[in-house]
Amino acid sequence: MEDALGHPRLGYYMGRDPFGREGDFITAPEISQMFGELIGLWSVVQWRAMGEADPFNLIELGPGRGTLMADMLRAGGGVDGFLETLTLSLVEISPALKGVQEGTLLNATGAEARRAQALRWISDFSEAPEGPFVAVANEFLDALPIHQFQRTAEGWRERLVDVSETATAEFQFVLSDTPPEGNAVPMGVEDAQAGDIVEVRPVATALVRDMAQRLNRHPGCVLFIDYGHPMTACGDTLQAVKAHATHDPLTEPGSADLTAHVDFGVLAHAAADAGAQVLGPLTQGRFLSSLGIQARADALAQSSPAKAQGIADALARLTSDDGMGALFKVMALSSPGLPPPPGFE
């Protein structure tokens, strides 16, 4: 999974811009500016809760086209002093997307990014400058590699990818002959039946631990938005998507996006264990509604009546249960002692 997405030459993200109607999938910030604007103001509230810290690190993991950050900065730019304190760090592996982000954030309309003190790209969260911070990650965790374990009559076995022996496929799933190491299978799936699959994502757990340690060193807050489940559960959620349709994950690896649902339960546990406050997860619909997305939609529709229908459609897509409102979850981590962030009170 890691190679299929991030191999320097063949990885899915490394040479292309996969977003939008002509691409493979659409994300919340690409649906409407409202998403990034609300998160921008959410970050301002956190900055104020940290005594208007200066310098202040704004960190985004997996910024895609840079749309979320551009909308956040435009909204935050309306608040005195906020942009002037900012150091921006973008955690990104894709050279192609770094180029797109640079274009989005530094082009003629990117005055906000230029007012910020610095804009840098880093390859890992741990490289972000020390100090008070807000980090946001929309649809980032789902791209980090997973392991799958399947329950058999003999116990759990890791599901692995092998070269296929059939003429029709290049690769196939196989089961390991031997049991996994001691604590590889997570807690909470003791009732699994033969055939059930459980997924783990050690890279995400390690990231969350690292973030929690930073939250103990400096005042800070992290916002994760992703599809997934609030508690560990069985299920094969590995999915490949190409041109807005599902695709076989083992066919032409590197040509399709690969994702799996996020187990927020495991991440919440790891963060709390490492001393962070954990807030949520709650649904994206509830989060955006409590931040006032309806009022923002009304204001936008009033100022451009010709776009009212498009704005209403975007609002429904972001917040309704049959859109992204229920499947997508929002979880925050914050430093001990900070008040709960907006949306989590």
Number of Cβ atoms within 10 Å of the Cβ of 237? 18
> Distance between CA 8 and CA 288 in Å, rounded?
36
Residue 13 sits in the site that holds ligand SAH (CB under 6 A): yes
Give me the least distance between CB of 48 and ligand SAH, in Å please.
Answer: 25
Give me the least distance between CB of 257 and ligand SAH, in Å please.
Answer: 8
Q: Which of 24, 71, 112, 139 binds ligand SAH (CB under 6 A)?
A: 139
Residue 253 sits in the site that holds ligand SAH (CB under 6 A): no
Nearer to ligand SAH, 43 or 94 (CB): 94
Give me the least distance between CB of 32 and ligand SAH, in Å please.
Answer: 12
Cis peptide before 55 (omega within 30 of 0): yes
Site string for ligand SAH, 87-116 (x = CB under 6 A): ----xxxx--x-------------------
Nearer to ligand SAH, 68 or 300 (CB): 68
- Nearest-CB residue to ligand SAH? 62
Cα 323 to chain centroid, rounded? 17
CB burial of residue 131 (10 Å; 0-12, 13-18, 19+):
middle
By CB under 6 A, the residues from 60 to 79 that bind ligand SAH are 62-64, 68
Q: Are 92 and 121 in contact (CB under 8 A)?
A: yes
Binding part of the chain for ligand SAH, among 23-31, 178-186, 192-200, 284-292 by CB under 6 A, reads 23-31
SS3 231: coil
Binding part of the chain for ligand SAH, among 39-47, 134-142, 177-185, 323-331 by CB under 6 A, reads 134-142
Nearer to ligand SAH, 64 or 343 (CB): 64
Cα 327 to chain centroid, rounded? 13
> Distance between CA 242 and CA 265 in Å, rounded?
29
Residue 140 sits in the site that holds ligand SAH (CB under 6 A): yes
Cis peptide before 249 (omega within 30 of 0): no
Helix (H) or strand (E) holding 115: helix 111-115
Q: 19 forms bridges with which residues in the sheet? A: 25
> Distance between CA 75 and CA 68 in Å, rounded?
11
By CB under 6 A, the residues from 24 to 63 that bind ligand SAH are 27, 29-30, 62-63
Residues that bind ligand SAH (CB under 6 A): 5-6, 13, 19, 27, 29-30, 62-64, 68, 91-94, 97, 138-140, 143-144
